[in-house]
Amino acid sequence: MADQKFFQWQNDILLKDIYPMRLVKLRDFLVFYKEADLWAEYKNKDISTLAADVKAYDDSMDYARAAAYKKYISSRNYFMVKDARSFYVKYKPIEEEAMRLIQQNHDYFISSWPRDIRGERAFIQSRIESFKTQLGFLRDRIRYLQRQLEGMLPEHPNRGKVEAEYKIKNESALPMLLEEMEKLREFDATYDKIEGPKLEWYKLSKGDPNYTPNEAEFLVNYDPKVP
């Protein structure tokens, strides 16, 4: 039996950290070739004979729009939670500096969330960039502590202190910030599907103060039917 092969992008931490777009690109690749196959299958068929297919497609689009809006609302609500600590109690112990940065992120969302769609995605992406910077600082600190330990004798009086900091930074702080970063990226990804409809609703409602439906209804029932 051949030895099992392991690739770096299969590591959960690396997948969220330095390979976050791999699955997205793989999905896009598969979608492209699936579309080509569907075109070859349906291009010579009469639409009148495809009523069941059309209904199944419409139903799937309705579900996709509802799911996209649900994911968007879930992500937005998460970042609007004032006290984020309860989401990180699984890390034992919680690293307080990482918790402070996460809490600060939520505070920024609560105090500075844009009033309309035009600034929303840019705001989220600015928070992603901020977290990239903080992750860089944290990794530098972890590498520094690791080098210290490598150069310390076992009986060095400061070794216990350095080991304790290295352990909590590497096993709590880093996973905590990576988790918050992943949530930011997931929130940003929801705009791939809802940004266009949200912008369209904004323009329609801006031109007519009495415009209906509201944003939520508009997004869930948006036409043209695209996922």
**77-112 per-position pLDDT tens digit:** 999 999 999 999 999 999 999 999 999 999 999 999
CA 139 – CA 121 distance, rounded (Å): 27
The verdict on residue 196 lying in a domain is yes
With a cut of 90, say whether residue 209 has pLDDT above it: no
Domain with 172, as residue range(s), is: 15-39+58-220
Q: What is the pLDDT of residues 146-164, one digit of tens each?
A: 999 999 999 999 999 999 9
Which of 92-101, 119-128, 178-187, 212-221 is the least confident region?
Answer: 212-221
Give whole-number Cα distances, 166 to 62, 159, 161, 171, in Å. 49, 10, 9, 8
The verdict on residue 10 lying in a domain is no
With a cut of 80, say whether residue 19 has pLDDT above it: no
CA 219 – CA 201 distance, rounded (Å): 8
CA 106 – CA 100 distance, rounded (Å): 10
Average pLDDT estimate for 11-27: 71
The verdict on residue 142 lying in a domain is yes
With a cut of 80, say whether residue 227 has pLDDT above it: no
The verdict on residue 8 lying in a domain is no
Q: How many domains does the chain have?
A: 1
Torsion of the alpha carbons at 4, 8, 12 and 16, rounded to the nearest 10? -150
The verdict on residue 77 lying in a domain is yes
